[in-house]
Amino acid sequence: MVIIQSIPRRILEALKGIGLNLYERNIYVALLLKKVSTASELSSLSGVPRARTYDVLDSLEKKGFVIIQHSTPFKYVAVEPSEAFDRLKEMILSEAKAAVKSLDELKKSKLMIELDDLYKKDLEIMLPSELSGVIKSADKISLHIRSLLKKTQNYVNILTTEKGLIDLTQHVRNLNKLNKSGVEIKIIAPVSKRTKEGISELLSYAKIKDLSKTRSPYGRLHIYDGKHAIVGLLDDEKVEPTQDMVFWTNSEHVAGEVMLPIFNTLWDQAKMIK
């Protein structure tokens, strides 16, 4: 008898949200109902194939959701949800800490030089069309912007929306470093009640012009040293952050010869904010 079908979908979705796969959440919920059970019984209750049940239970035990009784046959005890969540949190933090340590050690090692050399080998003969692509989701877009800011040496030109300007405040630390090193930062954005606080924060590091009183279209365009360009493909006000998309290219022709004149024209039309 499969009892998992009687469980509200919101419960299963919540467990999916914390990283449990389909079989894991089905077996864990079945075990919550039984408190203590065997693998065979849990297979029947959850609808998980018996051949997979042992592996799933081992995985749940490692994540802190199950305690194994080494009897004959083995029995499995459900860990109280609040305790299970605490255990999972500690495991994730511990693994993340170990991963960060490994990354830091690798970055400081001689291997990093070898990896960089592998990337730079024959880089100059790559076509610009090959060093470009679509980046999806606000988180990944933000990470890419941060990466480009770290590489910038001369100037950053940014045309953006109300939301885009607010999002730029996430990069204040990098903008501050660029400003201190003499990099020119120009931002064109619409001024509104919504953006006033962000503008006040960014004015310390950048020249900002108001586009709201011109007929120029709003959109997102980033130019870094005339080498890299980012162009928004969707209206960030109308799309979910996870569905947002931009086009990025590492092309001096596109960034410096096509996009830069467009930006300069808009810069001349917009009004300086002081």
- pLDDT tens column, 178-188: 999 999 999 99
**Within the chain, how many helices (H) and strands (E) appear?**
12, 11
Rounded average pLDDT over 86-113 = 92
* Res 212: pLDDT: 81
Q: pLDDT tens digits, residue range 196-209?
A: 899 999 999 999 99
* CATH number of the 131-272 domain: 3.30.870.10
Determine phi and psi for 21, rounding to 5 degrees: -75, 180
Determine phi and psi for 233, rounding to 5 degrees: -100, -15
Range with lowest mean pLDDT among 37-41, 68-72, 174-178: 68-72
pLDDT > 70? residue 264: yes
pLDDT > 70? residue 171: yes
Rounded average pLDDT over 162-187 = 95
* Res 217: pLDDT: 65
pLDDT > 80? residue 161: yes
Positive/negative CA dihedral, 249, 255, 258, 260? positive
- CA–CA separation, 174 vs 119, rounded Å? 24
Report which residue type is found at 72.
T
* Res 125: pLDDT: 62
The percent of residues in the chain predicted with pLDDT above 70, rounded, is: 95
Architecture of domain 4-80 in this structure: Orthogonal Bundle (1.10)
Rounded average pLDDT over 140-164 = 95
Whether the predicted model's global pTM rises above the 0.85 cut: no
Q: Residue 190 in contact with residue 210, Cβ under 8 Å?
A: yes
pLDDT > 80? residue 214: no
pLDDT > 70? residue 128: no
* Res 130: pLDDT: 66
Q: pLDDT tens digits, residue range 221-252?
A: 999 999 999 999 999 989 999 999 999 999 99
- CA–CA separation, 106 vs 115, rounded Å? 10
Report which residue type is found at 184.
E
- CA–CA separation, 97 vs 231, rounded Å? 35
pLDDT > 80? residue 42: yes
| Domain extents in the chain | 4-80, 131-272
* Res 126: pLDDT: 62
* Res 117: pLDDT: 83
Q: Residue 42 in contact with residue 112, Cβ under 8 Å?
A: no
